[in-house]
C-alpha cells in the first residue's frame, strides 16, 4: 500500500493514524507541498485535485479524500473498528469528525492560504488571524459537543478511538504547528492526550515524519 502524503499534512495524518490503528503496513511517498510538487504532472496523474493524501492499493485506481479512504479501510479491514456499533453513535462520531474535516480544515489548507497572500494581498499577521480564528472556532465547536455528549469518555465516544479522535488529533497537531494557545478547549486537549498514549497516534504525528524539522519555530 502506497500513501502519498506530506509530513505536515493534517489530512494525510488522519489516514496515517487509521492505517496504524488497524495495523496495516504502508509505504509513504512524500509530495512536498511547500515546493508545490502537488501540481506536478506525475502527481496530478495520481490525484488530479493536486492534494494529498491519495492511497494506492495494488495496481488499482488511487483512492482520494481522507474520509473516503478511512471509510474504505473500515469496510475492508473491519478490526479494530473506528466507528461505534450503533447507528446513533456512528452519526455522532461522523458529526464530530465533520466539524473538523468539513468546517475547519478546508479553511486553512495551503491553496487557501496562498490565495489570501498572492491574490488578495493580505499580509502575514492578518492571514495568521484567519487561520487561528477558523481553527479555534472548529475546536471550540468540538469542545462544546464533548462537554454536552453523554457518550464522551476516555475518547470522543466511549473507550475506544474512533474517526472522531483521528480528526480531533489531526487538528490539534495543526495548532502545535501554528503555535496556537489551546487552553480554551480543555476537553479536546484531554482527549488528545489520551490519543497520544497510543503508539498509532504518536507514530503518525507530523513532527515524526521524514522531512519534518527537528524543532518548530514560531
Ligand atoms: N478534504 C481533503 C483535504 C485535502 C487537502 O486539502 N490536503 C492538503 C494538505 S492537508 C493539500 O494537499 N493541500 C495542497 C494545496 O492546498 O495546495 C481530505 O480530507 O483529503
The strand pairing partners of 2, in sequence order, are: 27, 56
Does the pLDDT of residue 159 top 90, yes or no?
yes
Number of the ligand 1 atom closest to the C-alpha atom of 53: 20
User: Residue 55: phi, psi to the nearest 5?
Assistant: -125, 125
CB of 70 sitting under 6 A from ligand 1: no
| Domains of the chain as residue ranges with CATH | 2-78 (3.40.30.10), 87-206 (1.20.1050.10)
Instruction: Indicate which residue's Cα is closest to atom 9 of ligand 1.
Output: 9
pTM of the full predicted structure? 0.97
| Sequence-separated (6 or more) residues with CB below 8 Å from residue 129 | none
Predicted confidence (pLDDT) per residue in 38-71, tens digit: 999 999 999 999 999 999 999 999 999 999 999 9
Cell, residue 78 = 473491519
Q: Strands 54-56 and 2-5: what pairing?
A: antiparallel
C-alpha 102/C-alpha 84 separation (Å) is 20
Number of the ligand 1 atom closest to the C-alpha atom of 31: 12
Does the pLDDT of residue 218 top 80, yes or no?
no
Average pLDDT over the chain reads: 97
Mean pLDDT of the region 152-163: 98
- Mutation test of ligand 1: which of 4, 14, 52, 71 has the most ligand atoms closer than 8 Å to its C-beta? 52
Amino acid at each position: 500500500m502506497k500513501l502519498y502524503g506530506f509530513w505536515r499534512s493534517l489530512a494525510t495524518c488522519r489516514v496515517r493514524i487509521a492505517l496504524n490503528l488497524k495495523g496495516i503496513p504502508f509505504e509513504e511517498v512524500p509530495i512536498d507541498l511547500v515546493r508545490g510538487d502537488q501540481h506536478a504532472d506525475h502527481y496530478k496523474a495520481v490525484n488530479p485535485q493536486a492534494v494529498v493524501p491519495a492511497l494506492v492499493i495494488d495496481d488499482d485506481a488511487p483512492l482520494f479524500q481522507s474520509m473516503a479512504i478511512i471509510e474504505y479501510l473500515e469496510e475492508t479491514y473491519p478490526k479494530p473498528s473506528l466507528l461505534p456499533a450503533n447507528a446513533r453513535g456512528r452519526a455522532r462520531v461522523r458529526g464530530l469528525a465533520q466539524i473538523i474535516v468539513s468546517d475547519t480544515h478546508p479553511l486553512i489548507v495551503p491553496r487557501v492560504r496562498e490565495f489570501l497572500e498572492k491574490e488578495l494581498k493580505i499580509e502575514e499577521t492578518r492571514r495568521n488571524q484567519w487561520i487561528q480564528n477558523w481553527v479555534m472556532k472548529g475546536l471550540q465547536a468540538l469542545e462544546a459537543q464533548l462537554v454536552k455528549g453523554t457518550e464522551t469518555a476516555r475518547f470522543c465516544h466511549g473507550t475506544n478511538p474512533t474517526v472522531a479522535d483521528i480528526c480531533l488529533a489531526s487538528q490539534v497537531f495543526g495548532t502545535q504547528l501554528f503555535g496556537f494557545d489551546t487552553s480554551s478547549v480543555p476537553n479536546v486537549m484531554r482527549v488528545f492526550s489520551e490519543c497520544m498514549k497510543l503508539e498509532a497516534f504518536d507514530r503518525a504525528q507530523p513532527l515524526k515524519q521524514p522531512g519534518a524539522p527537528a524543532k518548530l519555530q514560531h
